[in-house]
Amino acid sequence: DAKTTQPPSMDCAEGRAANLPCNHSTISGNEYVYWYRQIHSQGPQYIIHGLKNNETNEMASLIITEDRKSSTLILPHATLRDTAVYYCIVRVTDRGSTLGRLYFGRGTQLTVWP
Amino acid sequence: GAGVSQTPSNKVTEKGKYVELRCDPISGHTALYWYRQSLGQGPEFLIYFQGTGAADDSGLPNDRFFAVRPEGSVSTLKIQRTERGDSAVYLCASSSQGGGSPLHFGNGTRLTVT
């Protein structure tokens, strides 16, 4: 499985942008990068995913480097409710399908302070 | 719409007993996944189903663990002769078919083996 490396913790002031880095230097050409977050006592929540191009949705932006060896999740205006563990995941494929499992590491604990 | 539902939300059992954990996926989702999460760790993959069949069961720790999905919808994770080390949160997720479809997680069943 392609593994990811994330800092164990980060903090951010409320209202500022939170930039969460992730290294995935062994990623294969057909593997997607996914980001999830998990708030205490809840299941992981899907945020965003991408293959090669940068992506944006209502929650966040995902910036993937041209060589695809790293990516950054950007929360443009962090709020207290964004405090959570953020997981960067490379999706294992199953015989070429993208239905394969996700491998979670330990993620980054993001703390947003007032 | 309704998300992934897991029952019970909490289960306490004695060492050596048998337990069943249930997962109701999002309607129409063909893929279903089981993970477990210990305190302070990221979710750990157990098994995933494509329809009724187990497409990848490589994460099941031993033969005390078994999962079924007889009609391609609801799934049951079964644990025989429970041990204290089985205590964890068991998470279920589902996804629709198609490239890059994200997994949607339930809030898990917290299993405590005394």
Question: Each residue of B7-41: pLDDT tens digit?
Answer: 999 999 999 999 999 999 999 999 999 999 999 89
Q: Do A43 and B59 touch (CB under 8 A)?
A: no
Q: Confirm or reject contact between A100 and chain B (CB < 8 A).
A: yes
Q: Say yes or no: A52 contacts chain B, CB-CB below 8 A.
A: no
**Helix-, strand-, coil-residue percentages of chain B, each rounded to 5:** 5, 50, 50
| pLDDT tens-place string over residues B52-95 | 999 889 999 999 999 999 999 999 999 999 999 999 999 999 99
Mean per-residue pLDDT, A75-80: 97
What is the predicted pLDDT for the residue at B96?
87
CA distance A39 to A37: 7
Contact B88, B36 (CB under 8 A): yes
Number of Cβ atoms within 10 Å of the Cβ of A89: 28
Q: Which helix (H) or strand (E) holds B23?
A: strand B19-24
- Residue B98's pLDDT band (boundaries 50, 70, 90)? low
Whether residues B42 and A102 touch (CB distance < 8 A) is answered with no
Nearest CA in chain B to A90: B100
CB contact under 8 A, A44 and B43: yes
Among the partner-chain residues B45, B100, B104, the one whose CB lies closest to the CB of A49 is B100
Do B35 and B89 touch, CB atoms closer than 8 A?
no
* Cis peptide bond prior to B8, omega within 30° of 0: yes
- For chain A, how are helix, strand and coil distributed in percent, rounded to 5? 5, 45, 50
| B101 near A CB under 8 A | yes
Average pLDDT for A66-86: 96
